[in-house]
Structure 1
Amino acid sequence: MKRLQMTILIVLAILMGGCTGMEKSGDNEETTTELPDTIAAQDEYTRSFLISTDEVADGHYAFKPWTEAYTMWIPTDATLDSVFYEKREKHWERFLYAWLDNEENLSYGVYGQFEDRPDSEEMGLEHLSDFSKFEGEYSKSEDENNIYYFGKRTSEVGEEGEEKIPVYSHIGFIKDKNSDKALGILFNHHCSDWTTNCNADTKSIEEHFWELVKSVKFEDKS
């Protein structure tokens, strides 16, 4: 189990690179004597990000990262990684959460990087392409509140001399129309046990990706 979880973290660590001089603190603390029997609610660190332990949609909680600049969904089976979470005051932040689907033999990881700066659309897309190693053209759409960019890629990871593990990535970028706020998202999945088949429903996985993207709500306050 630990090896499977570490695979997700290694993949994302390779893609995102290192940063220094960040803050690691927050006050989204919820205390309650009776918690739901879900992985996210039972994990103290993850729970500190949750707005509530009431589900906002089937199998999902709403969480607010410590910049308090936006909210989005997190699966009830996911845990946030305390090592990867970092922020710079209110204008930069990154997070990583991961979960397993044991029935389908799939591992998932979602990495997000938030920026609030005048050139957040240009620089945010550049950063997203760099850490996801995406070299294609993004498709672009929009709604009343946001502009969306979307791309896909398949990569392979693994130690030299070992069989490579295929990793499938959905890449999204959300730019707020009413501010300089933007959030890049890298959504990865791969077979947990790569020696056996996994049941990856690609349509369902992409729909889940878009549910998470569309769940992002930027706060009005600066």
Structure 2
Amino acid sequence: MKRLIVAGILSSALLMGCGNANEPEPIPNDNEQGAEEDMGKAAEDEFTSQFLVSNEEEEEGFYRMRGELGGFEMLIPRDAVVDHKDYRITDNAVEKFIFWDINKDDNYNLSFDIYYHRDFSTDLRESYLESFVEGLDYDGEIKSEEVELTTIYQGFFEEEYEDNPSFYVLWAYVFSDESEEAISLIYNITAISEDNNEINIEDHKKIFDDIIRSLTF
């Protein structure tokens, strides 16, 4: 059983209006106000917003974030929120984030665990990866790829339970090829409704792939 994951998983219009200078400006209705003010939860959440590089989406549906230690940047979904209770920095070298995105309309509950390391030994890369995979109890295929001065290792599995919705896990370990930096990512997703276990996992695979490819050290 993927014990490290189960505990975490089972817990946005431009206002239009014109007239001559002597006419009062039209008052936007509530629907227009709501549309203009919807910047996504990541920008609206006080704690999460401090990590955003800009309050403008870099890509549709995504903001770019930067870690407090300044060692990495990456895209995050516009509605992902940092769990401030689980955020921490250890020995000025390790930074931990957990993001949450609960979407009832699309029937999914997402948790996204990120660990950034900035002082790991390049000689121990294989040991880091092996220990990480063992912690996931993962015995599937590990894909590797070199992308933008990084080496990416990643995998995917589905966990099924008799009395609870299945959940899916996408993971990656990304190593810098120019420095002693690395980051591990675990993207956990499950259905909210016990009566409807359908999730478009292919969409989430693309989201996860976009995220890890956006990562820079």
Fold shared by both chains (TM-score > 0.5): yes
Taking the aligned partners of 2:95 and 2:160, their CA distance within structure 1 comes to 27
Taking the aligned partners of 2:9 and 2:86, their CA distance within structure 1 comes to 10
Distance 1:156 1:131, change over 3 A: farther
Match of 1:143 in 2: 147
User: 2:7 matched to 1:10?
Assistant: yes
Distance 1:38 1:187, change over 3 A: same
3-state SS of paired residue (1:163): coil
The structural deviation recorded for 1:37 is: 3.4
Match of 1:100 in 2: 102
- Structure 2 residue corresponding to 1:87, chosen from 81, 89, 102: 89
3-state SS of paired residue (2:68): coil
Match of 1:163 in 2: 163
User: 2:57 matched to 1:60?
Assistant: no
Match of 1:205 in 2: 204
Taking the aligned partners of 1:205 and 1:164, their CA distance within structure 2 comes to 20
Taking the aligned partners of 2:54 and 2:91, their CA distance within structure 1 comes to 24
Taking the aligned partners of 1:94 and 1:71, their CA distance within structure 2 comes to 14
* 8 Å Cα contact 2:165/2:197 also seen in 1: no
* 8 Å Cα contact 2:9/2:110 also seen in 1: no
Cα deviations by residue, 1:24-44 (Å, 9 ceiling, x for unpaired): xxxxxxxxxx97532111111
The structural deviation recorded for 1:84 is: 1.2
Work out the percentage of aligned pairs sharing the same amino acid. Answer: 22
- The structure whose Rg is larger is 2
Q: Which amino acid aligns with 1:78?
A: A
Greater CA drift, 124-133 or 85-94: 124-133
* 8 Å Cα contact 1:35/1:53 also seen in 2: no
Normalised TM-score (structure 1): 0.75
Distance 1:134 1:197, change over 3 A: closer
Distance 1:189 1:13, change over 3 A: closer
Match of 1:214 in 2: 213
* 8 Å Cα contact 2:147/2:213 also seen in 1: no
Q: Which amino acid aligns with 1:124?
A: Y
Taking the aligned partners of 1:180 and 1:138, their CA distance within structure 2 comes to 22
Taking the aligned partners of 1:13 and 1:196, their CA distance within structure 2 comes to 16
Cα deviations by residue, 1:146-165 (Å, 9 ceiling, x for unpaired): 111011122257xxxx8133
The structural deviation recorded for 1:188 is: 1.0
Q: Give the gaps of 5 or more residues in structure 1.
A: 1-7, 15-33
Distance 1:150 1:129, change over 3 A: same
Q: Which amino acid aligns with 1:73?
A: L
3-state SS of paired residue (2:166): strand
Distance 1:65 1:149, change over 3 A: same
User: 2:192 matched to 1:195?
Assistant: no
Q: Which amino acid aligns with 2:136?
A: S
3-state SS of paired residue (2:206): helix
Match of 2:181 in 1: 181
Q: Which amino acid aligns with 2:105?
A: E
3-state SS of paired residue (1:129): helix
Match of 1:134 in 2: 138
Normalised TM-score (structure 2): 0.77
Q: Give the gaps of 5 or more residues in structure 2.
A: 12-35
The structural deviation recorded for 1:127 is: 4.0
Q: Which amino acid aligns with 2:154?
A: F
